[in-house]
Amino acid sequence: MQRVPCGSPGSLPVPGRVPHELIPTILGNLVPKFLPPPTVLGSADVARWKAFRKEQHAFANFSMVSRPWRAMSLPLLLHTVVVLVFDDRVESIRKLLETYGHSVRVMVLWEPLDTDRQLYTALLRRLLLQNSFAAVINQCFTLVDRLERLECYNARRTLDLDNTSLFTSIQVPKIRSVKLQFGTGRDPNLHETLSQVAPHIEELELCSWMWWVPSSTQSKDFNVYPRLKSLTLRDCCAGLQDMATLLKGTPNLRKLVILNPTNLSSRELAVLFERDSFGSCLDHLAVSRLDPSDFLANCPFLKTFVALSQCTSHCLTVLPETLERLALTVRVSPWATHRPFSPPNALASHITSQRARQLKHVAVITNVSSGYSIGDILGQEIHAAMEIACKSAGVTLSHLSTDTNVQDLSEWADIIELLRED
């Protein structure tokens, strides 16, 4: 076999010869991705965190192949900065941000809990560093002038430690997106916690929120969220009154996601949507463990509706005529004795009806691999009817699952992200 000389046209490209416009794409697929931690952290999750830090160091070393690679890789590496609460390494992060703070778009505050008692004891000792930690975090925030999103995990400990809220002791910049995952313990006063960011945020996500903690000034000095457009509630115990209180003063809310509610019924959600015509303001609604038949009639202007738990074909009769995207979930079980969307032509009939004339995309969400066809899941009779209906109406038909590639179905990227986090 003839040896190909290094540098000849047939050899592999060396880093210095890779077109500069391709470098961000290459590095973007290699940069370590931070996965949101679970509510309760175990020793395996601590190991995962250590592996993530190791991958970060490896990527940083890899990026030093050349100056162009270094210049393009650092913004990717620093796009998301993860800060362990009360970790003394926050000082080194602050020094790094003095030079590269303009690259940071997402900052994550995370206090991990571990079943290992030695680590847990060490974290308790670090509570003594609360004041100095808050001071350094404040300095960090002044250095990230392009920050867009703040995420806080295990927020019950981080937000309210010994009746002193860390979140309210730091000066949060004017960011557009906030995610709070509460973890274990008692709820902090959400009213006070969000007071700094309420005038500015456009997206708010609350996970494992138990209830609203009322304050003495709540009725006369309630937060108004004039720019809030998207609200996600995941695994929350908020009831009707809590929801009504939270949603008060959101004139621009257009997207609502309610996943796995534990204290909110479908009928109560219907009341909430009917009150002050709140449902009429929404154009995007995604729900799970709720019956859409009870409340969809109160959302007449939806453009996107997603049912992340299986619902009956009766919900098709109350879908708004303005709908452009429709995603329905089918839970496949080896013990299933019935097929969804009975009668078989129910969904197909809706797709071709006058009420669905605005519909552009239909998706079937399943709990099985995307390697299975819709025919395997729904049955060939239903699948054939849906294919004919979609072709006739000019509607695209897709299959979504947790392993669906976002690049393959960009029109469903937001829903695929929900599936992966659920």
Whether the pLDDT of residue 410 is over 90: the answer is no
Partners of 255 in the β-ladder? 230, 284
pLDDT, average across residues 381-395? 88
Whether the pLDDT of residue 202 is over 90: the answer is yes
What pLDDT is attached to residue 69?
A: 79
Using an 8 Å Cβ cutoff, are 281 and 287 in contact? no
pLDDT, average across residues 362-372? 75
Q: Return the percentage of the chain with pLDDT > 90, whole number.
A: 26
Query: pLDDT (tens digit, 9 = 90+) per residue, 80-139?
Result: 998 877 666 788 888 989 988 999 999 988 766 554 445 544 555 555 455 677 778 778
Query: pLDDT (tens digit, 9 = 90+) per residue, 30-55?
Result: 888 887 765 445 555 667 777 888 88
What pLDDT is attached to residue 365?
A: 85
Q: What is the mean pLDDT of the chain?
A: 77
Using an 8 Å Cβ cutoff, are 325 and 302 in contact? no
Tell which wins on pLDDT, 387 or 335. Answer: 387
What pLDDT is attached to residue 167?
A: 58
- The closest of 228, 229, 227, 178 to 207, measured between CA atoms, is 178
What pLDDT is attached to residue 361?
A: 94
pTM over 0.85: no
Tell which wins on pLDDT, 358 or 153. Answer: 358
The model's confidence at residue 27, banded by pLDDT at 50, 70 and 90, is: confident
Query: pLDDT (tens digit, 9 = 90+) per residue, 272-317?
Result: 998 878 899 999 999 999 999 999 999 999 999 999 988 877 889 9
CA distance 373 to 390: 16
Identity of the highest mean pLDDT range in 172-186, 264-278, 337-351: 264-278
What pLDDT is attached to residue 216?
A: 45
pLDDT, average across residues 166-171? 58
pLDDT, average across residues 324-329? 92
The model's confidence at residue 337, banded by pLDDT at 50, 70 and 90, is: very low
What pLDDT is attached to residue 6?
A: 43
Query: pLDDT (tens digit, 9 = 90+) per residue, 71-82?
Result: 888 888 889 998
What pLDDT is attached to residue 112?
A: 63
Outline where 230-339 has alpha helix (H).
240-247, 266-274
CA distance 18 to 298: 55
- Buried/exposed code over 103-142 (b: 16+ C-beta within 10 A; e: otherwise): bbbbbbbbbbbbeeeeeeeebeebeebbeebbebbebbbe
Identity of residue 162: D
Whether the pLDDT of residue 350 is over 50: the answer is yes
How far from 98 is each of 7, 42, 139, 254, 327, CA to CA, in Å?
40, 34, 10, 37, 45
The model's confidence at residue 326, banded by pLDDT at 50, 70 and 90, is: very high
What pLDDT is attached to residue 3?
A: 43
Identity of the highest mean pLDDT range in 70-79, 84-93, 214-223, 411-420: 70-79
What pLDDT is attached to residue 332?
A: 62
Tell which wins on pLDDT, 99 or 374. Answer: 99
Whether the pLDDT of residue 215 is over 60: the answer is no
Whether the pLDDT of residue 164 is over 60: the answer is no
pLDDT, average across residues 240-254? 85
The model's confidence at residue 158, banded by pLDDT at 50, 70 and 90, is: low
